[in-house]
Amino acid sequence: MININFIKYSMAIVLVFMIACSVPLNAAHAASPATLKVGSRSPDVPDLQYRLKTLGYFKEDVTVYFGTTTLQSLKRFQLDYGLAADGIAGERTWETLKKVSVNKAELDMLAKIIYAEARGESYKGQVAVGAVVMNRLASSSFPDTIKDVIEEPRAFTAVDDGQYSLKPDKTAYLAAQDAVHGYDPTGDALYYFNPDTATSKWIWSRKQTVKIDKHIFAV
């Protein structure tokens, strides 16, 4: 006679094993995009194209296919950033691309922090906040992703007080795009503060680069 309880138990064990195995694979895929070249069809291709698009290298609609337009766009990016212009999105290219660009979700995050921190500032002041985030992303002294830069403990007041949850407007998105494109009115600043409210001696000790609206920017 077939032991039904044993079969159910065995199936449960298999299911748990499959779920446990799938988690690290998915996490690894998110952390390490596939190597891409002409002819590739991959979920990572839209990410590559979108990042190139935010930097002004890719002008077409985002797809899942790596064609000649993607190839030429990628080569231009590689040349500009001192990489081997082989048209292959390998480890070094991905590493560099993630330091200077954003994907769709990250652009949303950047627009949110700009809106939360500087919605009452001029357009230049809003871009400046986005530039600080991008400068931190490129710096070895800060986290390696937009999300981690923004959500680093005590990094941004708007995250701590809940304003980061507000929905950004069109201007915040435009400012985010300009910041990603490299527009930086701050002079490579990594910090900013409101001189009327800042009480930290440490932030006042930083070398100041420029004052824009209500914020002083510093390195």
Write the pLDDT tens digit of every residue in 70-79.
999 999 999 9
Q: Which pLDDT belongs to residue 25?
A: 33
Q: Domain with 87 in it: what CATH number? A: 1.10.101.10
Q: What residue numbers bound the domain in which 43 lies? A: 34-100
Q: Which pLDDT belongs to residue 32?
A: 73
**Domain identity same for 113 and 207:** yes
DSSP string, 31-58: HSPPPB-TT-B-THHHHHHHHHHHTTS-
**Domain identity same for 160 and 178:** yes
For the four alpha carbons of 47, 52, 54 and 55, in that order, the dihedral sign comes to: positive
Question: Are the beta carbons of 67 and 45 closer than 8 angstroms?
Answer: no
- Residue where one domain finishes, among candidates 47, 75, 100: 100
- Residue where one domain finishes, among candidates 53, 84, 100: 100
pTM (predicted TM-score) = 0.77
- Residue where one domain finishes, among candidates 100, 122, 152: 100
**Domain identity same for 82 and 130:** no
Tell me whether residue 7 is in a domain: no
Tell me whether residue 6 is in a domain: no
Tell me whether residue 5 is in a domain: no
Write the pLDDT tens digit of every residue in 71-107.
999 999 999 999 999 999 999 999 999 999 999 999 9
Q: Which pLDDT belongs to residue 31?
A: 52
**129: Cβ contacts below 8 Å, ≥ 6 apart:** 113, 114, 117, 118, 121, 175, 179, 192, 215
Tell me whether residue 21 is in a domain: no
Write the pLDDT tens digit of every residue in 3-42.
444 344 444 433 333 433 443 333 333 457 899 999 999 9
- Quick check: 174 pLDDT over 90? yes
